[in-house]
Structure 1
């Protein structure tokens, strides 16, 4: 008698190739439109499915996990970040959690450099002038920005993405500095020509550009708080492609408006899609709609990771990308 296929619920539209493969392997329920599920819809899915495939837009908290049915044994997250999932509560309920690490490293690092250039070279201001048909011709003092070569880059979080940013910044001639929970091995430090700072306060006070590349955890919430932001040089630029909660967005906004920080490139926001409205029209701020991993190749690779995790689980083994509370 053939084995019954796992019931899998996918909470958002995924690339067609990924959805097709999921449908071939499992009894899958796909979204018809690309809107987030409501809390009630998530609860219904978790009550009936064997596997839930959520994304960062789904808040899988203790309350929802408490309503999960006995069948739910795996939450196979489509994405690397898992701060929207209560992993500890899931573990206590006997529900495994997996993610998709590593596949968006290069894409996100590319976006870090794009935001750096966007802010320091005033690309957004130039675009707006051209789109409005207001350009009056070249002038020696128009749109003067600053070059990246020779500048000090302080990387907050030197994991896969942080190291990929460092490699790219090296090619631009930047000096690499970093703060991390653990110091890198000497051979990695040497290859990146990177300087480790044990004190985050001392590092941020001396940098020209800060790149936030650490995950959001209880210990990193508002790691760049108002006090720490005030340590930055007035000429400094902040780029955040990680999680909005790492920066006190209200304090950052106030300082940008006051000219106490030169600029910011933001792909993530403290309150999800609701970035501080005061940031929107600032000429020294480049804002993007969480596009760091938005490449066709990256999104398909994320789907392949999900497929591997679910298929491995279906075969009776632990998913290769299982997330444990101790890892957070």
Structure 2
């Protein structure tokens, strides 16, 4: 019998389950790159479109795990030495966490988890796991690559339009009973003709570029591994050799790069000093890519016209986090990849990975981050161990 420790975000404050506004969600069979969606064996344990990413939703795993003699512990209490997470981690075989409510698997925690064999991210992004420590301790790290990439890309497009068109303040005027047209439009512009650049053009970054192409914007990108010439030609992309070159010319900058030690605090005062005055910055990658206080200062000075982010550090962000109250922000809790549609895919992928793990079958290479003591699969092209 294995002990599976699952850390998920809390239930809705109005109670679980919620009243769903739709009866179903579209059926997706494959992703844009041809990769098939998760394909676990047997019943899912939930109906696609249900809220399964919270504690009571349990990712729909209980019926499968208990039918096979395994123990499932689900909690949202993840921080501090006396947390439920730390209490059960010492004898857990599998840890499941989400980027939206990450259980930070530090080197110290991994050292205490003597039985831990699999650290599974329900979603995309395993930077809350110390990958070097996981590799050293023989812990496999896996995630559901591409499961919610389009969910995040759509969120980016929403944030871009919300900032550029000054939608959020304008909506608030309407809610408050006002008709402040001049106040609304004094910060509202057309997206058409602007220069949009993404730092990172992987699955999400490329999906964003494709979705913005019809808006007649000029598209720029920086990526360690340059995209194929035919993709550049199709989208009319302008490639930049360095991030600095890109940020100097773009009106809107999208952060879509992975977080590892060398990229932490990447968007700092120096980088912000290079951007065009009045640029907009979008970040659905990781909060720690940005210097927290430098972002606030740039908005207050007008160097940035707006900042929309879906990611914070730490997560959940404290109540007094300055990004909650800084001017011209479009912040959301980390929700971009946890739409009900995205949940259906990453919950199914979690089940698929668990089935492979317990049955001794290979986990799809695209799901692997660390395996056999080293980076593997997607991890080998996305992360560094130093």
| TM-score in terms of structure 1 length | 0.90
Contact 1:238 1:264 in 2 (8 A): yes
Aligned counterparts of 1:170 and 1:25: Cα–Cα separation in 2: 48
**Residues 277-314 of structure 1: CA deviation (Å, up to 9, x unaligned):** 44434452111111111211101211111111111011
CA 163–26 in structure 1, closer or farther in 2 if over 3 Å, else same? farther
2:113 pairs with 1:68: yes
Q: Which moved more, 1:110-119 or 1:45-54?
A: 45-54
Structure 1 counterpart of 2:279, from 226, 232, 236: 236
Q: Distance in 2 between matches of 1:75 and 1:145?
A: 45
Could you give the per-residue CA deviations for residues 65-123 of structure 1, whole angstroms, max 9, x where no partner exists? Answer: 111133x2111222211111112212222221111210111110000011111111111
Q: Which ranges in structure 2 are unaligned for 5 or more consecutive residues?
A: 10-51
Choose from 67, 70, 81 the match for 2:125: 81
Alignment of 1:226 onto 2:239: no
Q: Which residue of 2 aligns with 1:58?
A: 103
What does residue 12 of structure 1 align with? 8
Conserved? CA contact 1:107–1:295, under 8 Å: yes
Shift of 1:268: 1.2
Q: In structure 2, what is the Cα distance between the partners aligned to 1:176 and 1:170?
A: 8
Aligned length, in residue pairs: 321
Instruction: Confirm or deny: 8 A CA contact 1:12 1:36 kept in the other structure.
Output: no
Which residue is 1:322 aligned to? 368
- For normalisation by structure 2, the TM-score amounts to 0.77
- What SS does the aligned partner of 1:205 have? helix
Could you say if the C-alpha distance between residues 128 and 283 of structure 1 is closer, same or farther in structure 2, counting changes exceeding 3 Å?
Answer: farther
The residue that corresponds to 2:157 in the other structure is 113
Q: 1:257 to 1:140 in 2, by over 3 A?
A: closer
Q: Does the CA-based 8 Å contact 1:267-1:289 persist in structure 2?
A: yes
